[in-house]
Amino acid sequence: MGRYHSRVQASARVVILVANPITYDGRVRRHASTLAAAGYDVCVLGVVGPNDRDEPPLPSEAQAAYPEARAAVRFRWLRIDRRRHGLEPRLRWLISASRQRLSLALYGLAQRLPGSATEPGAQIGLAQLAGLAVATSAPDLAWAAMRQRPDLIYANDLDTLPAAAWAARLCGVPFVYDAHEVYVDEHPALSPQSRLARACSEAYFSRKAAAILTVNSLLAEDLRQRYGLPTPTVVRNLPELAEADPITPPIERPLGETGTLHVLYHGAHIGLSQHGVDDLLRAMARLVSPGDALRLRLTLRGGLSPSEDRGLRQRIAELGISAHVRLMPPVPGAEALVRSAVLDGADVGLAVHPPLCLSYVYTTSSKVYEYQLAGLAVVASDVTGNRHCIAPQAGLFYPAGDDARLADCLRILSTNRDRLRAMQQAAYLHGMNSLRWRDERRLLIDTVERAIRRARRAG
């Protein structure tokens, strides 16, 4: 990474905002370590929410053998603790949560007033209310960012965008907005009022950003059309693999006998609350029924709370597939996920994204990149984002929620070894040729550098 140095003076300070504890956010950590390696003084401001587990934001020393984990220590981090431990923290949380609910209610009233859609002053007021309504910790993050004396503020997701805009204005510095989702349709439970507030906030504040980034061209086009923005820069969620230690090509790995298949599903969380996990279990139950000659194994790798672990194991037992399913702990970072998939002998990677809202349809899970870099065939739900990011010859697609069709895809790959090997090789070649972080790194550094340079010339 050392050869990618910024031409902006090394003392420039970048403050990155994220409304989560940082622990599992590979994109934020990868961007932070990349900018730090380029010569910036980087500080990540995160939030430990009231329901988050009390875990360190970075991998422990025992995990530091992984290159990505070592890279993470290049930047500083601070976290706002929103857990309700004790009377004072509970009061702070109550005040901030009440402020958000009140702001959403006031926004709903104000946007129905005469002139609210046309008068400039009313529009600005609505946008500020909308910013408070969509971001519980926005004032706290803005204040924390200002205290860092930044040269640039980097907002991840809509729930940090108002904070970045407010702090940047008061500090007289630029800010960058990195949109990871379609926030106006992020999940199906959003109320109409919340959708309007999100659209108002994102439209108003994103237009003030010095630059906008997103994770794929589908989201970039959606942002351009929805808000009339210049087309955002796409920086994909690709793992940073150590080039001195290349991934073994699939053609050099052993291939099991016909009828066998090792299937992998990994993620930050893998419990039954994750859409699609039960689909995988039901598909496995179809394939390992008595009398079936197939010998399949499913590895679920990711984080589970004790209650989630109990619920998942109970469901696995109910379906009679306990002998065929392994639950494995998470590993630190995307590179570790890629390498663990190869070392564990996985054949196929699963990506399940039910089309319950536009964000699920358009966004791209980083696992589809990681599977391909590992040289795994990919079986994925048939949504636009998956079709967009999986090499044509590397994937099989099934209708989301249809466990029978998912089982058919897995049966094909367990019985047709030539097809399985061809898909694995297509995935690997696509990964090695088109999914390398070195290309995204340059885009990220150039975007930040241009924003700081323009601001300094203007000042």
Q: What is the reported pLDDT for 386?
A: 94
287 within domain boundaries: yes
Q: What is the reported pLDDT for 8?
A: 53
List the one residue out of 59, 26, 55, 30 whose CA is nearest residue 42.
Answer: 30
Q: What is the reported pLDDT for 2?
A: 38
7 within domain boundaries: no
406 within domain boundaries: yes
Q: State which residues form the domain around 292.
A: 250-434
Q: What is the reported pLDDT for 109?
A: 78
Q: What is the reported pLDDT for 22?
A: 86
List the one residue out of 369, 393, 379 whose CA is nearest residue 27.
Answer: 369
3-state secondary structure (DSSP) of residue 134: helix
Q: Is the domain of 24 the same as that of 57? A: yes
Q: What domain count does the chain have?
A: 2
Q: Is the domain of 264 the same as that of 202? A: no
1 within domain boundaries: no
Q: Which residues are CB-neighbours of 419 under 8 A, at least 6 positions away?
A: 412, 413
Q: Is the domain of 392 the same as that of 452? A: no
Q: Which residues pair with 325 in a beta bridge?
A: 298
Q: What is the reported pLDDT for 58?
A: 60
pLDDT along the chain (459 residues), means of 10: 47 92 86 93 89 65 45 75 72 75 78 63 74 83 95 96 96 97 92 89 94 96 95 94 86 92 91 91 89 84 91 96 93 87 95 91 91 97 94 95 95 95 97 91 96 88
Q: What is the reported pLDDT for 63?
A: 44
Q: What is the reported pLDDT for 65?
A: 42
Q: Is the domain of 52 the same as that of 118? A: yes
385 within domain boundaries: yes
Q: Is the domain of 320 the same as that of 403? A: yes
What CATH number did the domain enclosing 159 receive?
Answer: 3.40.50.2000
Answer positive or negative: Cα dihedral of 209, 47, 138, 186: positive
